[in-house]
Amino acid sequence: MAAKSGETEPLLASRLTSAESDVDNDHLSLSVRRRAVWTLPLVVMTYFISYYTAVVILNPYLYDLVAEEFNFKRNSSSQQPCTEDHRNTSERTIQETIQKKVSTTELYLSLPCYPFAALSILIVGPLTDKYGRKVGFLFPIIGTFLKQVIYVATVGLHLPPMVLIAGHICEAIGGSFAAMLTSMFTVISDVTYPGPKRSFHITFMEALQTMTGAAGAFAIGQWIRVSYFYPLVFSLVVSIVSLLVTIFILPETVQTHSLVAPIATMYTGLWSQMVTSVHNVLSSCLYKFKRSFVLFINDQCGQYGLAKRRLCLLIFILTVAVNFSTPGIQTLYLMKSPRCWPATRILTFGSIQIVCNWAAILIVMALTQKVFKMADRHIAIIGVVSSMTSAVFMSEAVNDVMVYEVAVLAFMTRAIIPMMRSVMSSVVNSSEQGAVYASMGCVELLGAALFGTIANRVYYATLSTWAGSVFLMFAGQMAIALVLLIFLNLLFLREKNQRTDVTQDVNPGNIQIGPDPSW
C-alpha cells in the first residue's frame, strides 16, 4: 500500500495488505502505547548521559595528554589554553602544535569506526521491523557500555590514547548513537500519527536527548577540573541502568518473530534447527538491507514520492555534515587565541546554548504549527537560514560578544534534522519505517565521517592563517540545503494543486470534503 502524500494520514490506521509487510501495529493497546511513551525517554536519557560523557571528556583529555607529551603543560592546558603572553609568536606556535596533534588524534580515533557503525545500523535497523524494537536498543547500549569499560581502563591505568580506538570500534559495531536514534524514532512511528503531533514528538525526543547531553556536559565540565576517571565510572553505571530498563520495562511495539526456534521444539534436530534459524536471520538481514536502499531507487509511494525522498536525504546529509562537524572544531576554535576559552567554560556555554535553543525551538514549533499551520518543511527552512547565518558570523568571531551573538543566531539550527525525519516518515509505507530510519542513521554516520574528516583537515590546514574559514564552508553547505528545500516545497505545492484539481473534477459543486492541515 502506497504511503499517502499528505503529512497527516494516520500511520497506524492503515492496514497493510502487501505480502512483504512485516509491521502491523493495529494490535497495540492503549496501555502499551502509553507505557512506551513514558518509558522511552528514560531509556534515551540514560543512554545519552553515558554516551556524551566520553564525547565530552575526549577533547580536553587529549589536549592535556598532548601538552604533557610535548612538555607544554605550563604553557597551555585544557583549563588554561593561553598564557598572558598568548599573542607572542612562540606561545601561539605552541598552542597550534597542540591543536594540530589533538585534531589528528581525534580523526584517527573516530574515522575507522564509522564504516562498522554504518553497516551495523543498516542491518539492525530494518531487523527491528521483524524481530522487535528492543533489538535496536540493545545493540547500541551494549556497544557503548563496552566503550566505557575501555575508557575507564585507559584513563585509570594511563594507557596510550590510541587504545581508545578499541572502545570506539565496540560502540560502532553496536551502531552507536545512530542505532539508538533509529530505534527511538521507529518506536515513535509505531505509537503516533503522521503530521504535527508526530513531528512534535520527534522534535521533543530529539530535544530531550540533546538537552540530556547538555546537562551531562555541564556537570562533566565541572567534574573534569578534578578528575577524568570518576565521570567515566559514573557513565558506566548509567549504561547498566539503561540496559536494565530496556530489557525489563520498555514494552515491545511490534508483533515479532522469534530469532531462534522455541526451546520446546529444539530437542530433536537441534543442530538443523539452529542452522535454519541463523539462515533465516541472515536472509532477512540481506532483504532488509536491500530495502533500505530501494527506498531511494524505486518509486512505490505515489507521485513525486521518490523525488521527495531523495531531496529529504540530500538535505539531511548536508545538515548532518554541519551539525556533527561543528562541535569538535568549535571547541578547538574557541580555545585558540585570541578567544582563549578554557574547556570548562566551553562545555558550560555549549550546555546553556543547547537548552536555550531547544526551548526556543519548541516554542517556535508550537506557534508555527498551531497558529500559522506551517508544515514541517517550512520550519526546516527557518532552521537552515539560522544555521547558515550563524556559521558566517562564527568565522569572524574574535571576542566573547561575537560568540554570544552567534549562539543567538543559531537558535533554530537543531530543528532541521527532526523536521526532515518527520517529512521522510510521511512519504514511505508504514512497513518501511525501520528501513527508512536505518538508512537515515547510516547516512548520519557516513556523512559525519566524510564531512567531519574534510572539516578536520580544513581546520588543520588553515589553523595558522584563518581558522574561521571552515565555518564559511559550513555556511556554503547550508546554502545548498536551502536551495534543495525550496525545490522540495515546490514538489509538495505542485502535488497539492494536482490533488485540488482532481477534487474539483470529482466534486464539481465544491463541497468541502475535509481539511488538509498539512498545508
Q: Quote the pLDDT of residue 15.
A: 29
Q: Quick one: pLDDT at residue 503? A: 57
431 CB burial (10 A radius; 0-12, 13-18, 19+): buried
- Rounded mean pLDDT, 110-134: 75
Is residue 176 within 8 A of residue 431, CB to CB? The reply is: no
Residue 285: which pLDDT band, with cuts at 50, 70 and 90? low
What is the arithmetic mean of pLDDT over 272-298?
60
pLDDT tens-place string over residues 305-316: 788 888 988 999
Spatial distance between the Cα atoms of 239 and 438, rounded to a whole number of angstroms: 23
User: 6 in helix, strand or coil?
Assistant: coil
Stretch 478-499: mean pLDDT: 89
Mean of per-residue pLDDT scores for the chain? 80
pLDDT at 271 over 60: no
Q: Identify each DSSP E strand in 324-405 by its residue range.
A: none
Report DSSP letters for 121-158, one per residue.
HHHHHHHHHHH-HHHHHHHHHHHHHHHHHHHHHHHHHT
Question: Strand ranges (DSSP E) for 243-305?
Answer: none
pLDDT at 341: 92
Q: Where are the domains of the chain?
A: 25-258+281-501
Q: Is the pLDDT of residue 274 over 70?
A: no
Residue 89 pLDDT class (50, 70, 90 cuts):
low
**Per-residue pLDDT, 42:** 94
Give pLDDT, residue 11. 33
The predicted-structure confidence for 387-432, as pLDDT tens digits, reads as follows 999 999 999 998 999 999 999 999 999 899 888 888 887 777 766 6
Q: Quote the pLDDT of residue 124.
A: 72
Average pLDDT over residues 56-65: 92
Find the DSSP H helices in 70-112: 89-110
pLDDT in tens, 230-257: 999 999 999 999 999 999 999 888 765 5
Most confident range (mean pLDDT) of 88-97, 113-122, 465-474 is 465-474
Enter the CATH code of domain 25-258+281-501: 1.20.1250.20
Average pLDDT value for residue range 184-206: 80
Check residue 266 and give its pLDDT. Answer: 41
d(C-alpha 84, C-alpha 220), whole Å: 27
**How many other CB atoms are found less than 10 A from the CB of residue 104?**
15
What angle is formed at CA 443 by the lines to CA 257 and CA 348, rounded to 5 degrees?
105
pLDDT for position 425: 78
Of 373-382, 439-448, 502-511, the range with the highest mean pLDDT is 373-382
C-alpha cell recorded at residue 123: 542491518
Asked whether the predicted pLDDT for residue 275 surpasses 80, the reply is no
Task: Mention every residue, 6+ apart, whose C-beta is less than 8 A from residue 71.
Answer: none
**Number of C-beta neighbours around residue 312 at 10 A:** 27
Percent helix / strand / coil, the chain, rounded to 5: 75, 0, 25
Whether the Cβ atoms of residue 107 and residue 456 lie closer than 8 Å to each other: yes
Residue 349 has pLDDT above 60, yes or no: yes
Three-class secondary structure assignment of 381-397: HHHHHHHHHHHHHHCCC
Per-residue pLDDT band at 480 (split at 50, 70, 90): very high
> How far is Cα 515 from Cα 36, in angstroms, rounded to an integer?
30
Per-residue confidence at 284, pLDDT binned at 50, 70, 90? Answer: low
Of residues 147, 61, 52, the one with CA closest to residue 102: 61
Q: Half-sphere exposure of 225 toward its Cβ, with a 13 Å CA cutoff?
A: 12
